[in-house]
Amino acid sequence: MEQLPILIAIGAVAGVLSGMFGIGGGAIIVPALMLFMGFTQTAANGTSLAALLLPVGVFGCIEYYRNGKLYIGPALMVAVGLLISTWFGASLALQLPEDVLRVGYALLLLFMAWRYIAPRKWYRELRGLAEEAVIENTAFDVRSRRVLLICLATGLAAGILSGLFGIGGGVVIVGALTIFVGFDQKLATGTSLGALLLPVGLPGVLRYAEAGDVDLGVAAPLAFMLLLGAFLGARLTLALPTKTVKRLYGFFLLAVGLRFLLVA
């Protein structure tokens, strides 16, 4: 396949960022397939979800679990929510005009970029007005009904966006777990990656496949590279401070989001 080197590169980058941020990798795969391989938005969405069906984050999950940064109960509840709602997001995407879907995807990427770059906090840090806070993950009961219900609701919301834009849903999961449950960044990342380990995007893939928008020949090499890259990404995140790499990722999302928003 002439495009195999491109797919290997896309899968490797997506896998590393998946392991680092618990995002599944679709935020990289979808725009890359459109930019470098000429996929339509819906074909990129369906192929991305298909690549994410396999347990591509298994090695990364093992690393997070060994380091106490993956809670099984919350991850399962998020996975249930994803499984329930992904089909609805895919159905909505197939009914929307291509331009509307493209702009919606761009706005999602810009929102993600804002959260990862955190410009106001960065400015305050540069001015010496704020100290970096270290959040410990010991102030909550992961088996409580409140935590599990929040995780289920998080999965439902993430599943809609997953089916709509072909992403794994991790951008919603990680943010919600840090904001509404109190997980630290690495714990939220590991738990998100654990939730995405199951084939939660299957209903969405089936919906896209019905419309002919899944390319398994492209999805297979992407999945293989995701498997390897997620392990490396998890090791990097667990070994290094994540603030700098989070912001670099944010700038990448900013560039891609602006491209989709400004270029027809």
Q: What is the pTM of this model?
A: 0.80
Collapsed DSSP state (helix, strand, coil) of residue 230: helix
Give the pLDDT score at 93: 87
Give the pLDDT score at 192: 93
Collapsed DSSP state (helix, strand, coil) of residue 252: helix
Integer Cα distance of 56 and 11 in angstroms: 10
Whose structure tokens read 């002439």?
Answer: 2
Integer Cα distance of 8 and 4 in angstroms: 6
Give the pLDDT score at 129: 67
Which amino acid is located at 143 in the chain? R
Give the pLDDT score at 126: 80
Give the pLDDT score at 96: 86
Give the pLDDT score at 125: 80
Give the number of other Cβ atoms within 10 Å of residue 243's Cβ. 15
DSSP-derived secondary structure letter, 96: S
The pLDDT profile of the chain, 264 residues, written as one tens digit per residue, is 678 999 999 999 999 988 988 877 887 898 899 989 999 989 999 999 999 998 888 999 999 999 999 999 999 999 999 999 999 999 998 898 878 888 887 888 888 888 878 888 888 888 876 555 444 444 568 789 999 999 999 999 999 988 888 877 887 898 889 889 988 888 999 999 999 988 888 999 999 999 999 999 999 999 999 999 999 999 988 887 767 777 877 887 888 788 778 865
Alpha-helical segments (H) within 67-184: 72-95, 98-117, 119-126, 145-165, 170-176
Report the candidate in 136, 155, 132, 173 with the shortest Cα–Cα distance to residue 21. Answer: 173
- State the residue range of the domain holding 84: 4-262
- Number of domain units in the chain: 1
In terms of C-beta density within 10 A (0-12 exposed, 13-18 middle, 19 or more buried), how is residue 122 classed?
A: middle
